[in-house]
Structures are given as structure tokens and as C-alpha cells.
Amino acid sequence: MSFRTRLAALAVLAPLSLTACAQGAASDPSSTPERIVSGTTSTSEPSPSATPEDVGGPATAAVTDQSVVATGLSSPWDLELLADGSFLVSERDTAAIKHVRAGVATALNGPGAEALRGMVDASGEGGLLGIAVLEGDTSYLYAYVTRADDNAVVRMALNGDLLGQPTTIIDGIPKAKADNGGRIAFGPDGHLYVATGDAGREERARDSSALAGKILRVVANGGDKDGTAAKGNPWGNRVWSLGHRNVEGLAWVADGRMYASELGADAWDELNLIESGADYGWPASEGQDGLPIDGVTAPVVSWSPNEASPSGVAATHEAVYVASLKGERLWRVPLTAEGTGDPQVILDGLGRIRDVAAAADGSLYVLTDNTDSRGKPTQGDDRVVRITVG
């Protein structure tokens, strides 16, 4: 994903009647998210003009407008807003990347698109997962793919709707039927962050020399050093943080804070404030269970899987937004200068929500995922819906 708060807003198309929720989380204590506020120090580089005083929003908000901007997508996984107002969507099972302009989706083609179809193994929860675009004189598209023997990150030149031959920049990321991670995003420091799952190898999640259960931070500028460890990484390798089970969302606030969503095993899902070198505890802890543990960072929010199963994350100056699959809702976590407030359900009625992206005007783009084997698709699924939060 590009640093989404820099991107232009997209055009509004036909309206869609959905349920928008301005209320807080459910009153049933068994399903109410737990909020634990931790520190806000981050070693990600903040944008020069941003200060903590610029960040913060009201405790509650409501959806004031919503409209459909794309329909007919198949098992979509990642939504990438582009500077020209169009956007890309990766399709996990078809291994296609769709370019959506004015509501019309066109599949990218060329040798890179053909190569993706040949290399991607879409069994289980793997397939064509996260995408990120580096725009410039020569634009490059980076993709996280599940292959026959591993998960990998590949780079392809992007020229209009043509993809060049892929170059593998990271390989050997463990794969499994589930828990493959897969989100990739450019941070405000210009480096590419890569979320990996533990792929059933729990014992490797807290091992700083292993790729499983990590957030990686690597060079990605279209050159020969792509995929190498970024300068300043805490262990001198690609690893930025560890102790993760299955991260599927990454986002940055204007003051430099980095947040990530994480799917738990049985009891708790998480939203974490990510710091360089931090240990998030898996498998010794899940949510608040097992804590405190010396050296382990607690999540800022914990949900039950029925309320969340979180995937993509977006951040604006006023809140962090978390897409949820099993929970079938969009969560809003208000920001303060010191941390985060209580989570609020701000949107439901769309079914499974895979991703959410923030445009420069503050509007949000919500990607559904009902056409995979776990959803209940309705006419028009899967779709992208633009919402405005007031």
C-alpha cells in the first residue's frame, strides 16, 4: 500500500443502502472489546509537519455518506489507492490484479500478470495477497504471493495496465493452509513493511532470526537492494517486530505511530501499536491472556474473534479503522495525543470486510470479501464502498 493519507479522493458513484452504526461496542460484557492503552513512542519517522497535537478525534462518530465504487470482484484481498484517483484490487484466488477507474474494473495484463497466474498457490488462505505501488518515473508494483513451497514478495514494473516480469525480493517466508500474513505497505520512511504469519510454526514467532510471525522492514526502491534489511532495523536483519501470530493490517498515523491488526488463535484478536524491536508475545500471550510478561508489549485493543477477526487497517488524523471478517463490521478506534480511545462499531451490513483504505480527503474505501468460501455473497459482491465519516 502507498502511504494512504497522501492519496487523492475517488469519485462517488451510485448510492448503496447499508446499515451504518454510530453506537459503541455491544453491551454484552462477553463481547465487549478490552482496551489497554500503552505508550505512543514510535521509531518510525514522522512526517515533518505532524505533531502529536495534530492527532485526535471525537470519542464517537457516524457514517454520513456511502456509495458503491466497484462491484463484481472475486475473493478480493487488498485495495491500493493510486494518486490519479483510481485504485487496484488484488484477487486472492484468481491471482488477478484489477485496475478500477470510474467503476470499471480492468485486469492488469502483460508478462507479470501471466507469471502471477502461474506461480500463485491459492489453496487454503494463501494466494495473491497484499500489493503496494511505488510510483515514479518507473512505477513498480510489489506483491505478497503464496507459492508452492513458500510465501514471497515479488516486484514488477508497472506501465499503465501492463506488468513486467516479476523479480523475487524476499523468499522463504513459511507458508501453511492458514496464517500466512500477507499485508505489505510503504511506511512514511519510504521502506516496505511486510507482515508475515506464523504459518503454524508458533515457536518461531519470537525468534528474531526467523521470518515467521514478524513484521519485516526492507528496502524497496526498484533497485538491486530491494528486499534487503533497511538501515536501523533492531537486529540488523529484515525483522522490525516479532511475537506475532497473523498480522493482516498495517497503517501509520500522521505523527508516526504505526498500528497493526492481528488475528488470534481462539480467544483474542488484537490491535497493536508497533515499535521497533518490540515483542508482542505470541505464543506466550494472546490478547491480555498470559500477561504481564517481562519484555512483552500488550495490545491497545483486544476483541473476541466473533467481534473481529481483523484484516486491513487504515488511519486518519482522528482514528484507526479496522476491517473485520468474522465480525462483519468496520471498527473505529479514536485517536488521542496519548494513545487510543474506546472502539466503536461504525459500519455493518456489508458482510465480511477484508480491507479499508483512507484517502487524502478523509473518506474511506471499504473492501468486502464475501465471495470466498466463508462468505455469503449477495448480488454485486464483492464490492468497494466509499464512506464518509462525520
What secondary structure does DSSP assign to 11-45, as a single string?
PP-SB---EE--S-S-S-TTTSPEE--------SP
The pLDDT score that the predictor gives to residue 45 is 43
Helix (H, G, I), strand (E, B) or coil at 54: helix
Check residue 39 and give its pLDDT.
31
What was the pLDDT predicted at 36? 36
- Structurally, the chain folds into a number of domains equal to 1
**Domain residues for 64?**
4-389
pLDDT at 42 over 70: no
Q: Give percent of the chain above pLDDT 90.
A: 83
Confidence of residue 51 (pLDDT cuts 50, 70, 90): low
Mean pLDDT of all residues in 41-54: 46
Q: Which of 343, 317, 316, 318 is nearest to 330 (CA)?
A: 343
> For 275-326, how does the pLDDT look when each residue is reduced to its tens digit (9 = 90+)?
999 999 999 999 999 999 999 999 999 999 999 999 999 999 999 999 999 9
What pLDDT is recorded for position 149? 97
Supply the DSSP string of 67-117, one letter for each residue: EEEE---SSEEEEEE-TTS-EEEEETTT--EEEEETTEEEE-BSHHHHHHH
Nearest to 313 by CA among 297, 295, 335: 335
Instruction: Evaluate if residue 220 carries a pLDDT over 70.
Output: yes
> pLDDT > 70: what percent of the chain?
86
CATH number of the domain within which 216 lies = 2.120.10.30
Higher pLDDT, 360 or 214: 214
Q: Give the pLDDT of residue 54.
A: 80
Question: Are 385 and 368 spatial neighbours (Cβ–Cβ below 8 Å)?
Answer: yes
Taking residues 353-380, report their average pLDDT: 94
pLDDT tens by residue, 91-115: 999 999 999 999 999 999 999 999 9
Per-residue pLDDT at 24 exceeds 50: no
Q: Which amino acid, 154?
A: V
Is the model more confident about 244 or about 22? Answer: 244
The candidate with the shortest Cα–Cα distance to 84, out of 131, 13, 129, 139, is: 139
Confidence of residue 349 (pLDDT cuts 50, 70, 90): very high
Q: How far apart are CA 52 and CA 40, in angstroms?
A: 10
pLDDT given for residue 33 in this prediction: 52
The pLDDT, as a whole number, for residue 362 is 87
* CA 92 – CA 176 distance, rounded (Å): 15
CA distance 335 to 255: 11
Give the full edge-to-edge strand order of the sheet including 63-70. 63-70, 384-389, 364-368, 353-358
The grid coordinates of residue 34 equal 478490552
Q: What are the two backbone dihedrals, phi and then psi, of residue 356, each rounded to the nearest 5 degrees? A: -145, 140
In 3D space, the residue among 139, 76, 85 whose CA is nearest the CA of residue 112 turns out to be: 139
Q: How far apart are CA 329 and CA 351, in angstroms?
A: 7
Distance of CA 354 to the CA centre of its chain: 9
Separation CA 168–CA 152 (nearest Å): 7
Give backbone dihedrals phi and psi of 299, rounded to 5 degrees, phi first: -70, 155
What is d(CA 102, CA 85) in angstroms, rounded to the nearest whole number? 9
Average pLDDT over residues 337-365: 95
Torsion 376-377-382-383 (CA) sign: negative
Burial of 227 (0-12, 13-18, 19+ CB in 10 A): buried
- Per-residue pLDDT averaged across 68-86, rounded? 96
**pTM of the full structure:** 0.88
pLDDT for the residue numbered 375: 87
Using pLDDT thresholds of 50, 70 and 90, give the confidence band for residue 53.
low
Q: How many CB atoms lie within 10 A of CB 251?
A: 29
225-263 per-position pLDDT tens digit: 999 999 999 999 999 999 999 999 999 999 999 999 999
Instruction: Provide the terminal-to-terminal Cα distance of the chain, rounded to the nearest Å.
Output: 25
Q: Average model confidence (pLDDT) for the chain?
A: 89
The predicted structure's pLDDT at residue 373:
84
Identify the band that residue 337 occupies on the pLDDT scale cut at 50, 70 and 90. Answer: confident
260 touches 314 (CB < 8 A): no
The secondary element (H helix, E strand) that includes residue 301 is strand 301-303
Give 191-218 pLDDT, tens digit per residue.
999 999 999 999 999 999 999 999 999 9
